Each structure stands twice: as structure tokens, then as C-alpha cells.
Amino acid sequence: MRMQAFGFLAVLCTFIASSSLWSQSASDIFILDKSIDVLTRARNFRVDETIPASRNGNLTVIRRVSGEDPSWWPQGVAIQVLSVNGRERRPVKTVYVAKRWFDRGTRQGDLSHLQDPQEVQQQVLSALTPVVPECEVQVNEPEYEAPREPARPARHDTYTTLAQLVQSGRTPRDCHNKLRTWYRRHSMWKDLSRKQRAELIIDKAHTISTNMRVDGLVDTCARALGRTDRASIDEIKAFMTTRLSASEKARINVTNYEANCRRYFVEYGGGQINTSLFRERINDPQSIHPEFDPSLAVCIIKRETSSTDFDPHSMNYSFCQLRGRQGRPRSTAHGLGQFTQTTFLSLRESGVMPLSSISDSTSRSTNRVNFRNMSTDPDMQIESIFRYINYLMKAPSSARIRNMHNQVYNDSIEDWEKAVISYDQDRASDYIRGVHACRRCFGRAGNDRSAQADCLSGN
């Protein structure tokens, strides 16, 4: 009871500090009892955020903004989030949520019927012993706060700059020194600690994984229903984004596409649904393999760039080897993904990596530009790993890959193990052992993202 009073008072302190809140009609203020997914950008169903429900007496309070309801989304309503779990949200922005979920997740609490915040404050203070002075109260921390990423460089093609430094080095040591000096001065995340970088990567991995799962489901569902126009796809995307819970989104893969699609079909369907398509889509590049998991990409990042503290710009020092270089870097692998240009071009041109952050052009010149832009775009680098691993899990297992697995383990090879060995066949034994150990750490961490970051950073 005391903790509930503390959380309640924390919200009141927020309200008292915000005089504009009470200038609105009291009936516009709602308390959130169930978490909701909101669109943070108008007309963009790819950018969403989960607003957690009130918990342990710490209230999540929102304002209904009827005058700003979106004409571009008939099923949506406009709201402003004022407080999340007792913490003031600043700045207050207008976001959008499906009306159905707004109606189910909110209620008009006692706050909405009291015009004077001082009256509410006195009621709560009188119930506390001892009285907490002014508004200095303890509140529980929110479950998770996404780490902030520093601003990215204005010029995107740092790959070319680094390649020129490699070519200008007369000896491997000279080349190493040039790269090390550039990293120290210009690296995008140079001011972040190893743990902070790990937390950023973990947050991006979960976001990208969820987006890929939803996109694969929406693409398949649209095809099965024969509704591939942009408006229908956006409508299906809005339904899946707002109707599925976070845990349901985390489990989306090709085995449950049909079940999730039928939820939309029952409510907004009509016509026919091509059920055979769900079986045909198993090997499609967009479809998600059942063993797909964020830890796979994260653990590969650990194997590739742990020695360089997960720097997005990091170039493999094999760049500096002179033998066979002929005036060019021996390898073009760089960044969190350590992708070579050859691999990236071949996968993009075959439609295996339709990265959500860039266009689907298969022009070789455009793809080469995209590859260089990856040097300052960690999201592209991480998503490329996800796409490639998802593709490798669905590819046939060669005898060479199976033999490499049998050298380390004597049990049956799983699809994700096959994909990891295929990712780097030069060091297959070390790779698969390292990824196994990393994923076991993730299993112990559960849903605690800070603990997951510790698995990545090695703490």
C-alpha cells in the first residue's frame, strides 16, 4: 500500500508541474491498465513503440487528443503520453494507437474527476506516515529504457576513407597504426563504453528481429489473401502490429503464419485465402525460419568484433596483409557484420537481403553504394546478419558442413548450427563452440536485456 501511494504521488507531482494538463477537459485523461503499441510517426507503420501499463501503483497516464485523430488511419486515434510508470514523459508528443486497443486498455481513473491537483495531493499526503516533503519520492524504475545512440556522421561512405588508409600504408604495422588512429578520432561510437555499445546492439537486435518477423508475416498474408496493393499491406501491417502482443511477435515464424493471418481474415477478410501458399513460402527469403533468434546475430557479432569493442567501423586487420593485395585491401569485410562486398552484392541481387531500411533495387552500382553506406549504419549491418543467417538456415546442408559439425559434436546437426558453420567455414570449430557458449549465456539471461548485454560484452 505504501509503494502504491508513492507511485501515485509521483504521478501527481508530474501533473502539478504540468499546468497545461489541467487546462484540458478532465474527461480527456486516461490511465493505462494494459500495454499498447503506438505509432510514433504519422503514416509510418514501421515505426512503433510499446507503452507499458501501470504497475505497482506507478501510473501510466495518457491524454486523448480527439481533434488530431488520423484521417489516414480510420481505425486509429491520437493520444499523448504524459507519464510512464510514474515518470513524466518529456517532450509530450502526439502518437497514434488503434481505437480498439485504446478502448480495451484505458480507463478514466479518479484523477480525471478532480479538477484541482492540490486536492489530490493533500488526500495522498494525509495517508502517508511520515509525510514525504514536497515531491521527493521514490519510484520504481521502468522495466527497460532503450539506450540512446549518438548522432551518426553526416558523410556515410567511411568505407572508402578506410580503404584509402589501408592502401597508403607501406607496411602492415603502418597500416594498423593508420586504422587505429582513425578509429580513435572518428569512430561513431568512440565516446561509448564497451557495455554501452553492447546495450545498443542488443536493443537494435530485438527491434530488427521483431520487424523482420512482422514483415515476413505481412508479406505472406497479403499474398495469401490476394491483397498486394499498398493500402491493403498497410492495413494488414497495422493489424498485426497492434493486435499481436510483444511475446506473440517474438514467436512469429513460417510455422504460424497461417494461424496469425486467419486472425486478420476472420475480422477483415471476406473472399478466399490461399492456404497452400503458407507451405510454399517455407524457403522464401522473406519467410522466417523456426530456429531464427536474435541471439544468433548477436553471438556472431561477438565472434567477429569483440576484439574491437563492437565498433561499427571496425575493419578486419587482414586488410593490412600485403600478400596478394596488389594495391587493394585483401578483404572488404568491415563493420559489425564483417560482410565482404562480394557476399553482400550477390545476396542483394538475388533478393535474399531486402533490407527494410533501404530500397529493393538490384542494380549493381546501387548495391555497391548501399554496401559502403553500411559503414555508418549499424542497423543495416545487424539486419544483414539476420537476413544472411535466416537464408543459411534454409539452405541445403553440404557434406563438408556436416563433417565440420561432427568434428565438434557427435549429435544431429541443427539448422542454426549449419548456418553458423556456413557463415565462417575457416574457423568452424571455434565459431560453433563460441556461439554455443554465447547462446547458453542468453538462455540464462532470459528477457533481461542488461544481462544479455553482459553476455555480449563479456562481463
pTM: 0.66
339 found inside a domain: yes
Residues 20 and 121 in one domain: yes
Torsion sign across C-alpha atoms 412, 414, 417, 423: positive
Residue type, 55: R
Q: Which residue has the cell 576484439?
A: 307
Residues 79 and 165 in one domain: no
Can you point out the beta strands (E) in 33-168?
A: 36-39, 48-51, 61-64, 76-84, 87-88, 94-98, 106-107
Residues 214 and 80 in one domain: no
Helices (H), 226-349: 230-243, 246-250, 257-268, 276-280, 294-305, 341-349
| pLDDT in 10s for each residue of the chain, 459 residues | 444 444 444 444 544 444 444 444 556 888 888 888 888 888 777 677 888 888 766 788 888 988 888 888 888 899 998 888 877 887 888 999 988 888 888 887 545 443 344 444 444 444 444 444 444 444 444 455 778 888 777 667 788 888 888 777 778 788 888 888 888 888 888 888 999 999 999 999 999 999 999 999 999 999 999 888 888 899 999 999 999 998 899 999 999 999 999 999 888 866 788 888 887 777 777 889 999 999 999 999 998 888 888 888 877 666 676 555 455 565 667 788 888 888 888 888 888 888 877 777 777 788 888 888 888 889 999 999 999 999 999 888 888 888 888 888 888 889 999 999 888 877 767 788 889 999 999 999 988 899 999 999 986
Residues 287 and 385 in one domain: yes
96 found inside a domain: yes
Residues 118 and 164 in one domain: no
Residues 354 and 437 in one domain: yes
Residues 197 and 76 in one domain: no
147 found inside a domain: no
Are residues 261 and 367 in contact, defined by beta-carbon separation less than 8 angstroms?
Answer: no
Q: What distance in Å separates the CA atoms of residue 181 and residue 169, rounded to the nearest whole number?
A: 13
| Domain termination site, one of 76, 103, 126 | 126
Residue type, 353: M
The DSSP call for residue 282 is G
The whole-number pLDDT of residue 389 equals 93
180 found inside a domain: yes
Q: What distance in Å separates the CA atoms of residue 231 and residue 277, rounded to the nearest whole number?
A: 21
Residues 262 and 380 in one domain: yes
Residues 80 and 204 in one domain: no
139 found inside a domain: no
The whole-number pLDDT of residue 166 equals 79
| Domain termination site, one of 108, 126, 144 | 126
Note down the domain range covering 216.
158-459
Q: What distance in Å separates the CA atoms of residue 210 and residue 204, rounded to the nearest whole number?
A: 10
131 found inside a domain: no
Residues 113 and 167 in one domain: no
The whole-number pLDDT of residue 331 equals 66
Q: What distance in Å separates the CA atoms of residue 261 and residue 63, rounded to the nearest whole number?
A: 32
149 found inside a domain: no
Residues 82 and 173 in one domain: no
Residues 349 and 435 in one domain: yes
For residue 130, whether the previous peptide bond is cis, meaning omega lies within 30 degrees of 0, is yes
Q: Which residue has the cell 565440420?
A: 404
Tell me the CA distances in angstroms from 84 to 13, 33, 146, 154, one per residue in order.
13, 11, 14, 33
340 found inside a domain: yes
Q: How many domains does the chain have?
A: 2
- DSSP for 330-385, please give it: S---BTTTTB-HHHHHHHHHTTS---TTS-----HHHHHHHHHHGGG-HHHHHHHH
| Domain termination site, one of 102, 126, 150 | 126
Could you tell me which residues come within 8 angstroms of residue 196 by beta carbon, excluding any fewer than 6 positions away? 147, 189
The whole-number pLDDT of residue 118 equals 47
